[in-house]
Amino acid sequence: MAVINEDDLFFGADPEKTEKKIFEEAHIGNMSLKNRLIRSATWEALAGEDGSLGNELIGIYRDLARGGAGAVITGFTAVSATDDVPAGSMRLDSDSLIPQYRNLADEVHRYGCRIIAQLAAGYFVKDGRKVSIDDMMEDDVCRIVKDFADAARRAAEAGFDGVEIHAAHGYFLSRFFSPYHNHRKDRFGGAADRRARILTDIIDAVKEAVPGLTVIAKINFFDGVEGGVTLSDALMACKQMERHGLDGLEVSAANTSKTGFEVPSEEAYFKDYGLALKSISEMPVILVGGNRTIESMETLLDDENADFISISRPLIREPELPNIWREDRDYTPKCISCNGCFSTPGHRCRFNLEEEK
């Protein structure tokens, strides 16, 4: 497969684009969203050890849906019962969990909001031990693919509107795609198109298991290590996934959210990755990373041809922010991007917790 030449990418506005606004109905895959604002996946660490959902976790999603987002993407949702995942992660690794997740989906749908399950793996665990990517047998890779398809089927049966394949932030699929971690010599290793095969196999398996389900993905365009993923690698993987029916792509990079950036001059710090993808793809692009003002977000949509905007930390502090913005375009969110929410119970805003005392 030919390498994508980064010098040939077009980073400007598309003269044939259609005007887009934040607060208008928009479509991705088979989903119709009431606006273009999506809550990006946020790990709340509140699920039970078996992935069960409590009232506090459901309440967070109720507040987000009631707050006016077009869709919410769940936090990291494990696909395998044997996976070593962060404590408190949601899970869709058992049919017994479907009724609880149906209650979650129903609660979100009450407010005209869509819900997408972020399907993910932390490590591959076999016989009680973690197995490196290089040491996995091909049958092991096929097992992971099946785990994703089975989890997607459970999400669909629970009434979820779509799934997001999590291939970013240093988790299993992110490492599998990175040449820093993947040194395999078989059909799943080597050049970027071979390392991306697991991603396209997962898309194929999900589409076969649940025809019509909206499937998006989140992928690193840079993974923060020398000898890791390049922009050319990521773009090639995205094109492959698009050919296999992927409905949309959320661009990301590295492992953490950026702090200390200036608003509005440094908003949308992953913008160039999204624009590079738009230059070679017709797939809807979801831009995450430091989106803070309506003016900047509508510039991304209208002048630079993005399709959806996803935000996380501002909605931790103000889940009602989309409704506020609908009434006041000039409103400045209270979130200061300090990442203090990373170290609080349930990943709550530390300022909100202080105000509640």
In a domain, 109, yes or no: yes
Residues 39-73: pLDDT tens digits? 999 989 999 999 999 999 999 999 999 999 999 99
Is the pLDDT score of 112 beyond 60? yes
Q: Are 71 and 116 in contact (CB under 8 A)?
A: yes
Is the pLDDT score of 9 beyond 90? no
Residue 245 makes CB contacts below 8 A (sequence gap 6+) with 203, 204, 207, 215
Calpha distance 344→237 (Å, rounded): 35
The pLDDT confidence band at residue 300, using thresholds 50, 70 and 90, is: confident
Number of domains the chain contains: 1
In a domain, 2, yes or no: no
Instruction: Tell me the average pLDDT of the chain.
Output: 91
Cis amide prior to 264 (ω within 30 degrees): yes
In a domain, 6, yes or no: no
What single letter denotes the amino acid at residue 37? L
Calpha distance 92→89 (Å, rounded): 10
The pLDDT value recorded for residue 271 is: 86
Residue 192 to residues 150, 221, 254, 264, 291: CA-CA distances in angstroms?
26, 12, 18, 35, 30
**DSSP line for 313-345:** HHHHH-TTHHHHHHH-TTPPPS-----GGGGSG
Question: Which range of residues forms the domain containing residue 64?
Answer: 19-356
Residues 207-226: pLDDT tens digits? 999 999 999 999 999 888 89
In a domain, 14, yes or no: no
Is the pLDDT score of 190 beyond 60? yes
Give the range among 4-18, 253-267, 275-289, 317-331 with minimum mean pLDDT.
4-18
In a domain, 256, yes or no: yes
Q: Which residue has the higher pLDDT, 233 or 291?
A: 233
Calpha distance 218→339 (Å, rounded): 21
The pLDDT confidence band at residue 277, using thresholds 50, 70 and 90, is: very high
Calpha distance 173→167 (Å, rounded): 5
Helix (H, G, I), strand (E, B) or coil at 218: strand
Residues 200-209: pLDDT tens digits? 999 999 999 9
Is the pLDDT score of 17 beyond 60? no
In a domain, 169, yes or no: yes
In a domain, 265, yes or no: yes
What CATH number does residue 203 fall under?
Answer: 3.20.20.70
Q: Are strands 162-167 and 214-220 parallel, antiparallel or unpaired?
A: parallel
Is the pLDDT score of 265 beyond 80? no
Q: Are strands 114-120 and 124-126 parallel, antiparallel or unpaired?
A: unpaired
Only one residue has tokens 């109905």, namely 25
User: Length of the chain in residues, anyone?
Assistant: 357
In a domain, 12, yes or no: no
Mean pLDDT of 341-354: 85
